[in-house]
Structures are given as structure tokens and as C-alpha cells.
Amino acid sequence: MDRVTEKAKAYIMENGTELQKACCAYLLEEGRKNAVERALAAYQNTDGGFAHGLDEEYAGPVSSQFAVISALGLIYRFGLGESELYAKTLAFCKRTQRPDGSWDDPEEMRQFPVPDHMGSGIYVEYKTGMTAKWLMQLGVSAESELLEPAIRFLSKR
């Protein structure tokens, strides 16, 4: 391991979250994928969405689409597409997709401190596009009942 990698690893292991530590260990071939899954699951709500600081700028308990996007990226990167964690996330995406095909943050998030770039009605195209991107990366077909409406929504923008 080179000096820069060693310093980065030491910093993450001393200062990082459990998820960051698990990801670092796995990427350096010193940890297991199931440790990443367990650490990510700590941020998952019973509704299948994610919150609780997965997105560092929002620590509230209401599921955030930005946090879901982050989780989908991690699920893809760490090969968790066959996990229950992903199944719950996919069910959340199906349940929360709006009639116009978009995904957005729920109004309930405003009960908690939320940065200016988060919240209902803000960056809906981005949230929809990134959700669709990761779902496609995870094998959901563009022609599916889930992604076809999202693509239609984005093509009208």
C-alpha cells in the first residue's frame, strides 16, 4: 500500500462513520461486503428509504431522495443488488414515484433542518435522473413500469 493510501486509510479509520470504515476496508480487500451492507442498513428506514445522516447535510429521520440516490450508488458499487437492502429500496422507489414519473423529497422533511438544496420541489429533475441512472445500473429496464414514466418526465424538461 502506498503512503497516500495508508494516510487516507488511517484518517478514515480514525474519523469516518461505520459505513465509511466498512467501505474503505472492503475496497482495500481487508473487509467483507456484508459489513458494508450492515453499515448501510443502519441508515435505512422501515419504509425502505434512507435518512439519519447518510447524506451528511441532512440528519433527519424522514427518508430523503438524495439519501436514496446515495444508497443506490453504494448498492451498485458494492454489488448488493441481490440483497434485501436493495429489495426494500426498490420497493420504496416504486411506492414513492409520483404520478408524473418523478421522485422528490417529501414535505415532511421540512420538519427538520434541511439545507437549501434539499426539500420538496427542489432539483426534482436531478433527483429523478439520478434515481433512474442507478436503477438502470442495477438492471432495471428502461422500459419497465418504474423507469419508463421517469424517462418520459425527464424528456419533457
Reading the chain (157 residues) residue by residue, the pLDDT tens digits are 799 999 999 999 999 999 999 999 999 999 999 999 999 999 999 999 999 999 989 999 999 999 999 999 999 999 999 999 999 999 999 999 999 999 999 999 989 999 888 899 999 999 999 999 999 999 999 999 999 999 999 999 7
C-alpha cell at 68: 436514496
**pLDDT, position 117:** 85
**pLDDT, position 22:** 98
**pLDDT, position 96:** 97
This prediction's pTM:
0.94
What is the rounded end-to-end Cα distance, in angstroms, of the chain? Answer: 47
Residue with cell 422528490: 104
- Helices 84-96, 33-41: axis angle to 10 degrees equals 40
In this structure, what is the dihedral angle of CA atoms 124, 39, 133, 98, given to the nearest 10 degrees?
Answer: -40
